[in-house]
Amino acid sequence: MSHGVKVRVWGELALFSRPEMKVERCSYDVMTPSAARGILEAIYWHPGLRWVIDKIHVRKPIRFTSVRRNEVKSKVLASNVLQVMNGGDKPLYISSKEEIVQRAAILLREVEYVIEAHFEMTEQANGSDNPGKFKDIIMRRLRKGECYHMPYLGCREFPANFALWEDEKIDTAYPGEVKDLGYMLYDFDYSNPEEIQPMFFRAELRDGVLDIRDCEVVR
């Protein structure tokens, strides 16, 4: 795959929320393909290209920790809005008294991954765009540590350090092991903006590698 890249990402904490446990957030055991895509897009993205994640290598043992924080709960009902709308120009804030709840989050700690991915050209590419150009840009950014915004491991408060992975071989924390991780979020299907659909896949960590090529995606 000539358009492929290998990116090492690491950080102190990570939170790849399970959709079924998103109120009190609990992380998946490993990074999801959509989170990996988000990291690559934070480094480089263009309407003319689409990132496809091939493999995620898990280089550090899976460990958890938890943090409870004061968070803002939710938005107010639309019916209340109408009432307030007639109230005119008043001071504006989120109400901490009513809107704040304490929520725990189960985080991953000390994570390190190597993301193997490639990009495909899309119809929105300009005439002057070509895979070689995109590849050059992404390689330069990875080598120099340039990014559009700092990538993160699931949530913005857990920044992801990144660097190009240049070795041929990628060692993982689980050689010789097979771990069934159950169903995991693959990504969202944005093809209909009115109805964005989640997609899932059966995740299996084989020798510490999550192989997402040719996996069956369920909706």
Sketch the per residue contact string, 140 through 179, with another protein: x for CB under 8 A, - otherwise: -x--xxxxxxx-x---xxxx-xxx----------------
Minimum distance from residue 198 beta carbon to another protein (Å): 16
Stretch that binds another protein, among 20-28, 53-61, 87-95, 167-175 (CB under 8 A): 87-95
How many CA atoms does the CB half-sphere of 119 hold within 13 Å? 26
Q: Which residues, 62 to 81, sit near another protein by CB under 8 A?
A: 65-72, 75-76, 78, 80-81
Stretch that binds another protein, among 18-26, 82-90, 123-131, 166-174 (CB under 8 A): 82-90
The H or E element containing residue 141 is helix 131-144
Instruction: Choose, by CB under 8 A, the member of 23, 104, 139, 178 that binds another protein.
Output: 104
CA-nearest of 165, 147, 148, 143 to 54 is 165
Q: Which two tokens stand for residue 214?
A: 């040719």
If one asks whether residue 41 binds another protein (CB under 8 A), the answer comes out as no
Task: Report the first-to-last Cα separation within the chain, whole angstroms.
Answer: 28
Q: Do 109 and 67 contact (CB within 8 A), yes or no? A: no
Q: Do 71 and 101 contact (CB within 8 A), yes or no? A: yes
Minimum distance from residue 142 beta carbon to another protein (Å): 9
Nearer Cβ to another protein, position 153 or 212?
153
Nearer Cβ to another protein, position 2 or 96?
96
Nearer Cβ to another protein, position 78 or 168?
78
d(C-alpha 88, C-alpha 91), whole Å: 10
Inter-CA distances, 141 with 9, 154, 215, Å: 14, 21, 30
Nearer Cβ to another protein, position 109 or 202?
109
CA-nearest of 178, 161, 131 to 8 is 161
Nearer Cβ to another protein, position 22 or 156?
156
Q: Show the CA angle centred on residue 25, arms to residues 109 and 186, nearest 5°.
A: 85
Binding residues (CB under 8 A) for another protein: these are 12-13, 65-72, 75-76, 78, 80-82, 84-85, 87, 89-99, 102, 104, 109, 141, 144-150, 152, 156-159, 161-163, 193-194
